[in-house]
Amino acid sequence: MYESDADAARSLSWPHGRFELQRLSAMLAPIEFHAPGMPAFSPMQIAPWADEPGSEALPGGLRRLRGDWPCVPFGRTDRPDGLPAGWSSEAPDDDFGHGFGAHHEWQWLAPPDALSLSLAIDYPSTSPVRRLVRTVTALADEPALQSTLEVEVRRPCMLPIALHPTIRLNGGRVHLQLPHAGRAHSYPIPAEPGISRLVPDQSFEHLHAAPLSDGSVVDLSRYPLPFDTEELLQLQSVTGPVTARFLDQGWALQLDWDRAALPDMMLWVSHRGRRYAPWNGRHWALGLEPVNGPFDLGRVARPPSHHPLASRTGVMLTPGTPWRLRSEFRALPLAAEPSR
């Protein structure tokens, strides 16, 4: 059964856990998973300022930043300075980074069954997107959630789209298993000027040997890192579910989705690197973001034809044919986790 919190958020409990879905941005968190003989497992991040006085004045989804949310269209709307030569300029159709739905309140829908919660949002008439519907369903017999995103459009369009799962890093050691057939690509400029340490605009083979500007390497599959930073990078052609192993909690969180639709994963390493408000050097989280697009830049810039991500142009959407994307979170005790 679900409980209502002034209609701003609803929670649903089932024998294997509990989750909360909020109207603002359709953000999903907290999620708590249960298993016999195990401590409760809450893997998703909740921004430390989300319930602080004054947070209501922050813009859009930043007010109650947490967990996972859909980004349609995905990406920033401000073109950053210093992009390498050959990156073309694109004009976004609004000023809402990560899409209108990431900044506004959605409306509750009648859930399809007793284990689901559903929300929808209508986009402004000037947008090519007409409507988004999100449904989150608990699996009756296991600690797992399935999510469905449905996108309806007014006119044919190609849009960068992403999901935005963000896990917390303040609960001990986290190791990633992220199988991919392509290479990893660092952001074309420092993601956070004066803070980021990755060599920008580089391709490299292994996440465990990401090149740093001082000539050394860092393992971006194991957290915490030996230093604080903010980084963005994209791994091309993910080949299987992505697993975050929370070693000190005895659990693993597995993320799976339709990789034919969103073939890559963008990593947002927010390792206490942003020192300005509201971050204030205390945001410690890792975004594991399935994506079809070039980084978060597809709304403001396109890479040159020789760039490895030049083919990541987004998802083709057609009026009258809703586009659907399925994704899943599954919690596994580490002792039961399949080995790879």
Per-position pLDDT tens, the chain of length 340: 334 445 899 999 999 999 999 999 999 999 999 999 999 999 999 999 998 998 999 999 999 999 999 999 999 999 999 999 999 999 998 999 999 999 999 999 999 999 999 999 999 999 999 999 999 999 999 999 999 999 999 999 999 999 999 999 999 999 999 999 999 999 999 999 999 999 999 999 999 999 999 999 999 999 999 999 999 999 999 999 999 999 999 999 999 999 999 999 999 999 999 999 999 999 999 999 999 999 999 999 999 999 999 999 999 999 999 999 999 999 999 986 665 4
Domain count, the chain: 1
- pLDDT for the residue 163: 98
- pLDDT for the residue 337: 66
CA-to-CA distance for 127 and 7, rounded, in angstroms? 27
- pLDDT for the residue 340: 46
- Count of helices and strands (H, E) across the chain: 0, 27
CA-to-CA distance for 54 and 50, rounded, in angstroms? 9
| Helix-, strand-, coil-residue percentages of the chain, each rounded to 5 | 5, 45, 50
How many angstroms separate the Cα of 64 from the Cα of each of 20, 34, 246? 13, 25, 24
State how far Cα 328 lies from the chain centre: 13
CA-to-CA distance for 217 and 70, rounded, in angstroms? 32
As beta bridge partners, residue 174 has 223, 246
- pLDDT for the residue 335: 81
Q: Which domain holds residue 179?
A: 2-336
Write out the two tokens for 187. 């952001």
CA dihedral sign, ordered 22, 26, 30, 34? positive
- The CATH number that applies at residue 109 is 2.70.98.10
